[in-house]
Each structure stands twice: as C-alpha cells, then as structure tokens.
Structure 1
Amino acid sequence: MKRIALFSFMLFASNAWSQSINHDTTELMAIEVRATRAGSLAPFTKTNLYKDAIEKQNLGQDLPFLLNQTPSVVVNSDAGNGVGYTGIRIRGTDATRINVTLNGIPYNDAESQGTFFVDLPDFASSLNSIQIQRGVGTSSNGAGAFGATLNLSTNELMTKPYGEFNNSYGSFNTWKNTVKVGTGLIGGHFTTDLRLSNITSDGYIDRASSNLKSYFLSSAYTSDKTTFRLNIFSGKEKTYQAWYGVTEADLKTNRTINYAGMEKPSSPYENETDNYKQDHYQFFYTQHINNNLTFNTGLFYVKGKGYYEQYKADQAYVDYGMPNQVKGTETITASDMIRQLWLDNDYYGDVFSLLYEAGKTQFTFGGAFTKYVGNHYGDVIWAKEGMSDPKHRWYDLNAWKNDASTYAKWQQMIIPNLQVYADLQYRRVRYRIDGFRDNPTLRINNTYNFFNPKAGISYQLNDVLAYASYSISQKEPNRDDFEAGMTQQPKPEKLHDIELGVEKRNEYYSLGATLYYMKYKDQLVLTGKINDVGAYTRTNIDNSYRTGIELQASANISDWLQLSGNLAISKNKVLDFTEYIDDYDNGDQKLNTYSKTDIAFSPNTIAGATVKLIPLKSLEIDLLSKYVGKQYLDNTSNEKRKLDQYFTEDVRASYSFGHKLFKDISIIAQVNNLFNKKYEPNGYTFSYYYNKELVTENYYFPMAGTNLTFGVNIKF
C-alpha cells in the first residue's frame, strides 16, 4: 500500500468503529461478557463490532481478516488467501500477547500462548459481537493481555425461530457452506441454536489446501432471574503445511512455491499436513440475586488432539533412539523417515463474576481457575531402510499449568459527567514441564505471582467522551522460551500502558483520537543467540517502548454516501539491542550492538478507509482501502531485512431482497486486492558468516493477487 491515500485516511475512522456509534448493547450483553469487557464509559481504547458488520464480511476467510479494517491491525495468511493458518498483530503486538476470550472463557493456548482460529473454522458465523481492546485494557481471564484483547461473544438470546443457509465460492476453489437453525424461545423459557460449517480451499500457495469442519450447538433456559446455558462446539482442520515461506529469490519468479514436503525425492510428499481437532464444552449459570446483584459462573472443558506429519530425508537413527539397520555386511545409520509430532491436551476450569450495580456505582468481583495438561509425543511411522516396529515413539513428554486469578473492578460517578475507574487483578501461575523434544532432561517447575493494577478517569458531556488510564500487565514466558536451558532461563515480561483518548459521536459523524505510551520491561524477543542446547529462543531485553496516536472518524454524508477510516502513526523502539550472528568459519557467534532500533513487525503507519455507497435501497457497495508501512523482520532496522510497505484495495457489493418463501436473500460479491498488488505482510530472517562473508536469508509469506468471492445468504 502506498502513501497516496494517507491524507484522506485522516478524515475517516474504521468502518467497524463507526458501527458502534449508534449501538449500546450493554443491557443486552450476557453477564459473562459484561464482566470482562470495557463498558461505554470505561477509560480504555476499544472498538466494537456487531453482528450485522460481521455477517456481511464473513465469506470464508479466517476471523483475523474480518478485523482488518479496525485500527492498528495487520493480518497475514500462510496460504495467502486468508483461509487456514492466519495471523494478526495489533499495534505490532503478536497473537501470543493478545488475550482472547470466548464468552469470557480464556482461549489462548496455555503453553504457546498463541491463538489458532483455524481450530474453530467459521466461528464468526456464531458471533453476535466482538470487542477489541488496544493496550492492556480491563482485567480479563486467561493469560494477561500484553498489548491487546479480543473478547468474542456468542451467547445471544434469539427469541424467534429462524433458519439460514449461507454459501460462498471464490478463487483458489474456495468453498464455504454454513447452515444455521434456531428454535426461538419455546414456552417463554427454552431455546436452542445449531450451526454446521464446512470450508475448503486449495490456497494461493502451492498445495496450501485447507479442509475445515465445525459445528456449534447452544441451548439455554431463561427466566426472570435465572439463566442456564450449555454451549458445545468443535472444529476439525486438515491443512497442508505452508509455514516455511518463500525465499527472496523465488519471490521474484515463483511466488507460490511451497517447500513443505520437498524433502521427498522426485515429488512433494502428499501428506505433509497439519491435523487437529478441538472440542469445547461451556456451561453457564446466571442468577439475578436482587435488583442490584447478579452472579455468574462458567464451567468449561476443552479437549484438543492432533499432529503434523513430515517427510524427513537422511535422518540418523540415533537421533530417534532407533537401532541402526544392518543389511549383510553394511550398517545403515540414516534413512528417510516419515514422522508425526503429536499434541494431546486437556484444558478445564471455571470463570466467575459477581456484579453489583446501584445508582452511580458499579462493582465487579471475578476471576478464574484453570488447569492445563498437555502430552507431547512423536512417532516415526515409516523409514525407507526399514523399521523393527511398525511405529516407533522417540519422545513422550508432559506439561502441566495451573492458572488462578481474581480481580475487582470499581466504577463510580463522583460528580455529574465524571467517572473514576479502578481495577485490581492478582494472578498466580504454576508451570511444570517434564522435558523438551530436543532437550528431554530439562525440567521446568516455576511459579509466578502477578499483580496488575489499572486506574482511569472518564468525562462525558453530551456527545463528547474524554478518558485517561494507566495500567500494568505482566505475563510469563511461553513453552519455547523455557528451552533456553537452566543457565538462561527467561524472566517474565512487564508492560506499563498509558492511554489518553477523546471521542465525539452523534448521528451524523464521529471523531476520535487516542494517544498511547506502552513501556516494556524485559520484553522477550529473538536475538539470534544460541542457548544451552544450541537452539534459538527469545531473550529478555531490558527496555523497549511503543508510542503513537490513533485517529478515527466517520461521517454520514448523505443517504447514499458514508465515509469511515482510521490512521495510526507510531514509534516502536528497542533502546539497546544485541544481535548474535552464527560464525560458521570459527564455530562461534559474532555480536552487533544497536541503539534505538525499530521493534520487528511494527510499522510506523497503519491506515484503513471505507467508502460506502448506497445507490439503491437494497444495494450497498463498499470500497475498502488498507495501508501498512514498512516492517523490519528483526530488531536491527536493517533495510535489507524488511517487508515493504503496501496499499491494497478491495470492493464488496451486496444486494438484499425479500421473497415469498424466504425472509431475506443477500447476494454478495467481493474482489480482494483489486489492483493485483504483490505484497507480503509477514516473513522471517536469519544471518550467518560463511567464507568470511555475511549471508542474510529472508523468507516471505506472499498474499494472493486479485481474487474474487461470491456468496448467497438465505434467511427464513
């Protein structure tokens, strides 16, 4: 994306943000969501997306791509078309630092701390609202928010019977089929909703196929004071691996090449796939004790199991604990192999909240208790030179993680229009790891105690809201960080966040500006340093920060023209950074030191704009623009290790009409990357010295050029 549209972006806010202008669903929100979300007057930076905005974008791409037009967001896709494995960064913060909750229940993987929406295909079709908090935000359940929060809600009470049949087809043979039905409220108390989804795609990158299936079932009993709800949902994914990226040389001549499976001679291995199934069970109980007091608790259990399969060439038997093969007088020490790396985990616990509301006072007490049990193991299922057993397990390791947290939030209107906010959270984490695949004797048994206070003030007069807040967040390292070895164990990270914002909203236009300063202590980053076991893991750096301004606006120009957009300008700096580079000539590492370099994957400029045209009552045309400035692949600000800036434009047209047999029929057509921009929003780099020369290898994840999706949604 180029800078030609930056000036106009300053005039608009994100389309998603403008959706919240005339929405205030606080009274409609389930209590489990209200407990963890920022209210309309809370002094935190937030964007709300509602069901109508989610539906019209939902044509099969993964959830991060539905958030692309919101402020400070950059998305990417391994397969290049938004289906399968995708990623999201908010203010440069990656998914391991973005707290995600599903109806208030933590979703981040307990060990990697990442979020894999590919495990919940088409979950967007069951959502009724999303809140994105940028910065530390309010206290929530699960791993501490370390830059952003995504709060997803499905627990909407549908009072009338309904049915939907949503289908879309697009480039790269991408199909999405969704069926939704609901009973409405039966006897004034009971309701049940069901969704079935199937998504398949060949992907833009060679062999980057996806086969995704999911279902969602929710049943509830509700009365004046009591509500019970049971959610059961599941996702199953099979994706051909596409996580190696494309070299800089191939990017120029063969953008879609996929190196996965190519260790097999003659032709790529046909089953170099990732396979995972995740089942969720949620049970909520809500009791309105009196006019002022409401209690909620949510029990949950998540079962995940799956593996990825690889063809590996010339593998030494000793590395897998297998005996050498003997053929006659020849001893064979290595062979091509097919291996599966498995993860079998259980995650369960309880979240709870007690909400008190009276006059100008709101107080929430809540928390969560969770336990994770993970089994990591690997099987060799085939060897070219033969195996003594049909399946050989070469490692079998366990991990446990207990997480207990509690918080208290207080909001008080102290004088007319002026509200104060205080939020105190205590979190205790115990993490035990009984070895790693490449270091099975390394044992980790750590306990962390975190106190995360937050405070703020907001002032609202007519249609203007101003706020200020200061927050602290701390989080533990993830599983890979601990593999650094006993002499290089990582420290937890700490973030201080200051947010200053002002918004003006009415029925004709909205304006908003946020200033933020996020100061990190002991942030974990890749430096290239080799640890005790010869692996590259993240290392704590003493000081780094992010600071910037986010501008948003929208305007209803006329009945047929609406404008919205956002612009984020920031500085993201590491104050002192040491880079370690392998020296293959001498068998050691060389060091380079830097001062005030850019944090990797943190563009200084991100912008988005939407022009909505309504030429006919039932016809809507959206012109979507996105600009992302250059990003560095590491923390050295080296111009030879970067992702170029890019500017893309999409166009979406939707036409709705009624029919005798159906409540509504919507026809949607969307062209992505209208002008066929070649761009890469993600990548990685590594360097080394060989023959006394510095060699740098950059890998990129290219996105598809111009591509089309066509959908038909039928409601009855």
Structure 2
Amino acid sequence: MKNLFAFLCLFVLSVSLQAQNFTLSGTVSDENGAPLTGATLVVKGASYGTTTDSDGKYALSVAQGNIAIICSFVGMKTETKTLTITENTVLNFTLKSSQESLDAVLISAVRVNADSPITYSNLEKEEIAERNLGQDIPVLMNFMPSVVTTSDAGAGVGYTGIRVRGSDATRVNVTINGIPYNDAESQGTFWVNMPDLASSTENIQLQRGVGTSTNGSGAFGASLSLLTDAVSEEANGEITNAFGSFNTRRHTVKFSTGKLADNFELAGRLSKIKSDGYIDRASSDLSAYFLQGSYVTETTLIKALTFGGHEITYQAWNGIDRQTLETNRTFNPSGEYTDENGNVRFYDNEVDNYRQDHYQLHWNEKISENWTTNLSLNYTQGRGYFEQYKEDEPFSTYGFDEITINGTTINETDVIRRRWLDNDFYAINANANYRKNNLDMDFGAFLGIYDGDHFGEVIWARFASDSEIRDRYYEGNGKKNDLSFFTKATVRVNDNVSLFGDVQVRNVTYKTSGLTSDQDPFNIDENYTFFNPKAGINYRVNDKNSLYFSYARANREPNRSDFENNNEVKPEQLDDFELGWRWNGENFTVNTNAYYMLYNDQLVLTGALDDTGTPLRTNSGRSYRLGLEIDASFKLSDKFSIRPNMAISTNKNIDFIASQDGSLVNLGNTNISFSPDFIAGNIMTYKPLHNFQVSLLSKYVGEQFMGNIDSEVSRLDSYFTNDLNFVYELKLNTFCESITFTGLINNIFDVEYVSNGYFFTYDDDFSNPGTVTTIEGAGFYPQATRNFLVGMTLKF
C-alpha cells in the first residue's frame, strides 16, 4: 500500500501543477487552396492533438515555449513546423501530395485517429529508440496504460509476454503492416522469433478493448498495430552496439540508399543479440534481418519486404516453487537429470530452436483526390523445434518394442527428443479508402491460409530398441482458413459531432488430423462465422474537450491447445462499451475512459501449463471487466515533462464453478486470473541540455491471482519498479553525423519481484483412501533485480 500511495501522490502532483498556455489556431489546405477536413495535428512528443473542421480550421491549446507541430492527412506529405509560443498564434499548413503518407496507408485500415471513439495510445519511433537496447517490444511497451509485461529469462531478452487489461497475448491481436502476426493455431505472439524488430519499426498503435476491425483473430483485450520503417528521402546508415548485465550484447547495422533517381530506395538491417539471462542458463542467441525495396511516385508506393529471425533460447518455462523462490530465485530446473552415478546434472542443449521468415509485397495507389487503395501479399515460413532430455521414458511413448538384455526386460529408457513445428502462412489483404468532405470510408477484405505440421523425433536413446535415428513417434497437421470482410465509416455531422460505424463478417475453418504429442488421435473439423458490429460517436465540446462513446461486438474461436484439452470448448463472445473524455487543458492533456467488457464463455487462463509451457484456458461462462483508465501528459517547462497513467478495474467470473475435494462447487463471483485491480505507470523526463535527457520510468502492478478460484496459493504480490534512462547525442558532421549514447538502469531499487507464474490443482485420493482432497500448487517466474544496459549508435 505504501508504494501505491506514493504513486497516487505522484500522479495527482503531475496533473495539478500550473503552466501558462496559449491558443494555436489556423487552417490546413491542399496545394490548390481547398480546405482539408479531418487533417490531424499533434504536438511532437506529446499524446494530444486535434483535427480540422469542415472548413479546414483547427484550434489547439499549447504550452508556452518551443514546440513542434506535426500536420498529416492521408494522401498528403506530412509537414512539421517548429515555433516558439509566447502568445496566441496563427499557424497555417499547406500540404502537398506525396508518396510519404502512402506508407501510412499500409495500416490505415486497422488504425484510428485523434477523433475516433476508440481507446488507444501511440508509441513513436523516437521514444522507441530512447530505450531500444536489445529488449523485446513488450518490454518497450511496459509503461503504456493497462499493460503488464513479463520475461521468462527475467531480463527482457528471449521469450517475453504482454497482457493488456488482464488479457494474455493470445487475445491481443497483432499486425505488422496490416498482416496478422499472431500464430494462426496457437494465437500467440512470439516476439523472440523477430529479434530487434523495434529497430525497424516506425510506430506502434495500441488499441485497448475490441478496437476497430482488424485482420486475423479478434482482439479481446487489445490490438497492436506495427508499421515498419518508412521510405527515407536521404541516404543514411547506423551502427549500434550495446552491452549490459548478464553478458547481454546487441549489435545492429542499418542502411538506406535514400531515393535513387527520385523513385527507388533500398534499406536493410542486420542484428545479433545474445544474453545469458537473469535465470540460470536462460540464454538467448538471436539473429535477425530486415530488407526493404521501394518504388515511389507522387501517387504510387510499392514495397517489397523480407524480414525474419532465428532464435536459440535455453528453456526457462518451468518456473520454480515458492520455497525455491525464497532461497534460490535464479534456479532453472529445465534440463535437470541424474547421471549413472547419481549426480544431478543439466542437459546443455535443452533449447528452443526456431526460424521464421516473412515476405511481404505492398502496393499502395492514390487513384484520385478521394480514393486510395492498398493490396498486400504475405508469405510466412516457420520451422523449428524444442529439444529435451527425458529420463525413464516408457518405450510405448515412442513406439519402441521391449528388448531383453542379459535376461532383463527393458521397457523404458532415457531419450533426447525434438518436437517440431513446420508451418506456412499465406495472406492477401486488400483495402480501399474514400475520403471527401465530411465522409471517410474504408473497405477491406482479408484471406489467410495456414498449414502446420507437428511431429516428434528421437535423436538419441540409451536403449533404442529397433528404432532408427529421427523416427517420428507422432505426426499431426493443422489447417486453418480465415476469410473476413469489413466496411467502416466516419461521418462528420458538423464541426462538433462525428459518427463512426464498423461492420465485419469473418469466417474461420479449422481442421486437424493425426496424433498429438501424447499420441492421442486429434481430429477437429470446425467452421465458425462471426458478425462483429461496432459503432461510436465523438462529440467535440470545444477546442479543449471532446467526449466519445463506442460499442463493439467481438467473437473469437478457440486455439489448438483449447481443443487438445477439451473437445467441447466453445468460441467466446464479448460486448465492449467504452466511454471516454479527452481534454487538452491549459496546463496538461488527459485521456480518460471507462470501459465495461461483458464476456460470454470467456476463455480465461486456468493458471496451469501444458508440457510445452503453454498456458491452459477454459470457458468461464459469464464474466466481465469494469475499469477506468487515465493517461495524462504534462509539460512543466522546456526541460521537464511528466506522463503518468493509471488503470483501476474489477475483473470477475460470475458464478464460477470449480472442482474441489471431488465435488463441483459454485464459488460465486471470483477474480479473473492474471487481472490486477490497479496498474500505473509514469515517465518523468528532464532535459537540461538540448542534446541530453534523463528519464525516470516507474511501474506499479497490483496483486493478482494466477487462477480463478481466489486461492491464496495462486496470489502474486504487487510490485513497484523504477528504471533510469539517459540519452546523450553528440553532433559531429565529420566521419559520422552524430553519436548517440544511451543508458538504461533497470529496477534501480533492486526490487525482488515476480510478474508471472502458474497455478494448478489436482485431486488426490491416495493419501486418505475413501476421500478426495484437492491439492494446490504454484510456480513463479522471477524477474531481474538491478541491472543495466548501455549502448552507442553512430549515424551516418
């Protein structure tokens, strides 16, 4: 409670201080002098902005001092103007037609703007770069509202995860340039397969709740849209090297030719990241690449991209029990076995080894002043395995026949096995945008085809019977087709009111054949058709205040693990209500929204894991999430700014039924697993010099349960961590343009905390025959104590 009180005091302080503000107003028009309705204007480095009215006019309250205003409009070149505010000021923009804004068309169909009745936050390239020292994208997003992140290895390199509003990664829809990134079968997002993707990311938008229609599996907690690097006008290059705790190091080389002959650009990146991890042996060896070729004219943008990664990570998904957490919190039981002399040893290649390559082709065309189109093709290939040393395995598990040696029957053996996933994903995505006067419409269609082979092989056995090397002891296949259509429109009724509508129809077919890894038959043949309507209204009270309300319906199919654990699993439904208030005040901006998410058959995490570390889920009947989120930004002066956020919520299963002591019991309303009631973040930035800044980044996560029965065994304690980030840029214009030094001290107060874990129950009737007792247990994933990363980037 002490940490919580301190954070609340800090939040109140940050939104109560005073600063003098003035009104910035003007018009936005095209090259012919015609007003542009709905053009977006934002203050660079802040989270607030406005849009132009039907006459192309805008008004924005801004702080005294030096500011930069970014003005953008679909089909026009984005323009940035820097000025000093000392009084009420008029600033007009004349935007030119350009291909540059066509980069944004790649993701415009799945994104929203400042006047949309959707709850969202943006993370820009500049802010990403400030902390990009090799940690994964979820870790870089840690300080956004309602976000909780975790790392298997404990230090943000390797397997990392994200939860938004208590929803895990399988329920956060992720797209890269409008193409789904979530694995089609598991619905998970494995950032470890895309190391250093942040270095090739232009910006990120996180929509909380259902959000707008997107491609791939429906968003049940949030949707995350990434746009990769835009076309560069000028030739440039970067070399980045970073080093830190746990023998972490990152090496990145980037380049762009700039525009050649005014139409062509070639850009690329190579990355290498290694880390020993905070947890014992939780090492990561990550390689990645990004290559982009572009053709641009005034009305055309064609991009061909290939990017991917290869990861080898030592497994750390087993976690540790509470006693070990207190006595040896870095212990990793993965790979543990006993040799022939009775000594405990650890297998040195207990690793996950996976390669993933993406190929994308995007064609954006501005057909007229009103129409723009986008056609995207995608092919993703993934293949790899995880390797395990297993002791005393029954022959029957691997199809071995019993053997007799010296009169002794042998029917079990030590083995080293690999469990493989080899998959292909094809996608085509087509969108069109029509914008004229007060109407903005998007039309879209998406088709995704997935084909994945699952199989296991034994690469060594102490007693191999009559088997051959790499005999497959199970084989299975999963095929999934995903077809969707959507239409959405924003209608500006007048200068104050705009209406939003969005309708999506989605059809999913999923078929499996063969065996599971437990050698059980696995034959699923399901077909789902979902209708997902959305509607909202935005009311601009004045140039400082706007209100919005939205309703969204979402449906979502189960994933592969759900079917493996329960053939009767049901799809889940969600009705999401969002009520928001955006205020650009005299001394700060604030985005406030209340949400009510009402679920039917929500697939909640049980807390348990399967034998691959995958969290198990179950339908919970009726459940809901009710919350309030506040996201503020305040500039005290040219040197000091504060950006706090907080989320207060209650997350409940209604009349939850569970098995306890051999009987089904109605536990009433229980807390939904992994859903803390309070989450808060804050970034305080001090910039004593124009080229040097220091930021204190704080994160508080309230206590949460890892299961749905409110067991004390499943409780995760609250935690409050602070990171210190500094950036210093040295301009040279000699052998290189500049050198940027970046540093990050994570968890500066050396807090021992746990952000993730698992919880399990089982019925035991052996200790007391005739009775059944429910046994509970838990595992934990400790996060790193104080650690650091430092880096240097040379820009050419």
TM-score range, shorter chain: over 0.9
Corresponding residue number in structure 1 for 2:657: 578
Partners of 2:473 and 2:250 in 1: CA distance: 39
Q: How does 1:161-172 map to 2 (within 5 A)?
A: 161-172=235-246
Which among 672, 690, 701 is matched to residue 628 of structure 1? Answer: 701
Aligned residue in 2 for 1:477 = 558
Counterpart-to-counterpart distance in 2, 1:671 and 1:24: 35
- Distance in 1 between residues matched to 2:607 and 2:118, nearest whole Å: 36
RMSD: 2.0
Aligned-residue offset at 1:416 = 1.7
Which one of the candidate residues 461, 470, 475 is aligned to 1:396?
A: 475
Secondary structure of the corresponding residue to residue 290 of structure 1: coil
Structure 1 residues 526 and 100: alpha-carbon distance in aligned structure 2, compared to 1, 3 A threshold: closer
Other-structure match for 1:586 = none
Aligned counterparts of 2:316 and 2:600: Cα–Cα separation in 1 = 34
Deviating more after overlay: 442-451 vs 636-645? 636-645
Which residue pairs with 2:715 in the alignment?
Answer: 642
SS in 2 for 1:56: helix
Aligned to 1:323: 401
Counterpart of 1:700, as a letter, is F
The match for 1:714 is: 794
The equivalent of 2:523 in structure 1 is 443
Deviation per CA, 1:504-545: give whole Å up to 9, x if none.
2269521121100000001123559999xxx99533222000
Q: Does residue 359 in structure 1 map to residue 437 in structure 2? A: yes
In structure 2, the CA distance between the partners of 1:527 and 1:79, relative to structure 1 (3 Å rule), is closer
- Mapped to 2, the partners of 1:89 and 1:206 lie a distance apart of 25
Deviation per CA, 1:594-623: give whole Å up to 9, x if none.
Answer: 111110100000001111111222210101
Structure 1 residue 227 displacement after superposition: 1.7
CA distance in 2, matches of 1:688, 1:111: 28
Paired position in structure 1 for 2:114: 40
Aligned partners of 2:118 and 2:245: how far apart in 1?
Answer: 40
Secondary structure in structure 1 of the residue aligned to 2:523: strand
Q: How many Å apart are 1:592 and its aligned residue?
A: 3.4
Cα offset for 1:228?
1.0
1:253-292 mapped onto 2 (5 Å cutoff): 253-265=327-339, 266=343, 267-292=345-370
Aligned to 1:512: 591
1:67-466 alignment runs, 5 A limit = 67-265=141-339, 266=343, 267-388=345-466, 389-435=468-514, 436-460=516-540, 461-466=542-547
Which structure has more relative contact order (CA 8 Å, sep 6+)? It is 1
Q: What is the Cα deviation at residue 244 of structure 1?
A: 0.5
Q: Distance in 1 between matches of 2:584 and 2:735?
A: 40
In structure 2, give the amino acid aligned to 1:597: T
Sequence identity of aligned pairs in percent? 43
Q: Counterpart of 1:502 in structure 2: which amino acid?
A: W
3-state SS of 2:401 partner? coil
CA distance in structure 2 between the aligned counterparts of 1:34 and 1:74, rounded to whole angstroms? 27
Which residue number corresponds to residue 87 of structure 2? Answer: none
Distance 1:365 1:463 in 2: 32
Q: TM-score, normalised by structure 1?
A: 0.95
Residue 558 of structure 1 aligns to a residue in which SS?
coil
* Alpha-carbon distance between aligned partners in 1 of 2:450 and 2:671, rounded to the nearest angstrom: 36
Quote the residue 1:700 is aligned against.
Answer: 780
Shift of the alpha carbon at 1:553? 1.2
Secondary structure of 1:256's aligned partner: coil
For residues 346 and 62 of structure 1, the distance between their equivalents in structure 2, rounded to whole angstroms, comes to: 24
Once the two structures are TM-superposed, the CA of residue 367 in structure 1 deviates from its matched residue by 1.8
Separation (CA, whole Å) in 2 of partners of 1:443 and 1:16: 53
Could you tell me which residue of structure 2 aligns to residue 654 of structure 1? 727
After TM superposition, give the deviation of residue 168 of structure 1 in Å: 0.7
Deviations 1:354-381 (A, max 9, x none): 1101111011100200100000000011
Structure 1 Cα separation of the partners of residues 174 and 229 of structure 2? 16
Closer, same or farther in 2 for the Cα pair 1:431/1:512, shift >3 Å?
same
Question: Taking structure 1 as reference, are residues 12 and 284 closer, same or farther at Cα in structure 2, changes over 3 Å only?
Answer: farther
Q: Could you list the per-position Cα deviations for residues 237-262 of structure 1 after superposition, in whole angstroms to 9, with x for gaps in the alignment? A: 00000001111000001000001000
Q: What secondary structure does 1:110 align onto?
A: coil
Is the contact made by 1:90 and 1:134 (CA closer than 8 Å) also made in structure 2?
yes
Residue type of the alignment partner of 1:2: N
CA distance in 2, matches of 1:536, 1:176: 30
User: What does 1:492-511 correspond to in 2, within 5 Å?
Assistant: 492-505=571-584, 508-511=587-590
Q: Cα offset for 1:386?
A: 3.2
Amino acid at match of 2:788: L
- Decide whether aligned partners of structure 1 residues 526 and 565 sit closer, same or farther in structure 2, where only a CA change above 3 A counts: closer
Partner of 1:2: 3
Q: For 1:625, give the aligned amino acid.
A: S
CA contact (8 A) 1:228 1:284 kept: yes
Relative distance call for 1:247 and 1:122 in structure 2 (3 A) is same
> 8 Å contact 1:528–1:579 — kept in the other structure?
no
Whether 1:567 and 2:646 are equivalent positions in the alignment is yes
Q: Report the equivalent of 1:596.
A: 669
Whole-angstrom CA distance in 1 between matches of 2:167 and 2:666: 24
Whether contact under 8 Å (1:303, 1:345) holds in the other structure is: yes
Label 1:682 to 1:24 Cα distance change in 2 as closer, same or farther (>3 A): farther
In the superposition, relative to structure 1, how do residues 345 and 566 fare at CA in structure 2: closer, same or farther (>3 Å)?
same
After TM superposition, list the pairs within 5 Å mapping 1:643-682 onto structure 2: 643-659=716-732, 660-682=734-756
Which residue identity does 2:177 align to in structure 1? N
Q: How many angstroms apart in 1 are the aligned matches of 2:648 and 2:141?
A: 19
Aligned 8 A contact 2:249 2:273 in 1: yes
CA contact (8 A) 2:131 2:744 kept: no
Gaps of 5+ in 1: 584-588
TM-score normalised by the chain length of structure 2: 0.86
**Quick one: structure 1 residues 205 and 330, their matched pair in 2 at CA, closer, same or farther if it must change by over 3 Å?**
same
Give, in whole Å, the separation in 2 of the partners of 1:619 and 1:508. Answer: 24
> Cα 1:193–1:529, aligned 2, differ >3 Å: closer, same or farther?
closer
Measure, in 1, the Cα distance between the counterparts of 2:113 and 2:723: 32
Deviates more, 1:671-680 or 1:27-36: 27-36
After superposition, give the CA deviation of every residue in 1:260-310 in whole Å (9 maximum; x if it has no partner): 000353310000000000000000111211111111110000000000000
Distance 2:414 2:608 in 1: 30
Residue deviations 1:319-372 (CA, integer Å, cap 9, x gap): 211112221322100001110000000000201101101111011100200100
Query: Are the equivalent residues in 2 in contact too, given 1:375–1:399 (CA < 8 A)?
Result: yes
Asked if 1 retains the 8 angstrom alpha-carbon contact of 2:547 and 2:582, the reply is yes
1:12: how far off? Answer: 4.8
1:18 aligns with 2:46: yes
- Displacement after TM superposition at 1:481 (Å): 1.0
TM-aligned CA deviation for residue 421 of structure 1: 0.4
Structure 1 residue aligned with 2:570: 491
Counting matched residue pairs gives 704
1:547 paired residue among 626, 633, 658: 626
CA distance in 1, matches of 2:44, 2:167: 20
Kept in 1: contact 2:607–2:758 (CA 8 A): no
Q: Secondary structure at the match of 2:601?
A: strand
Bigger Cα Rg? 2
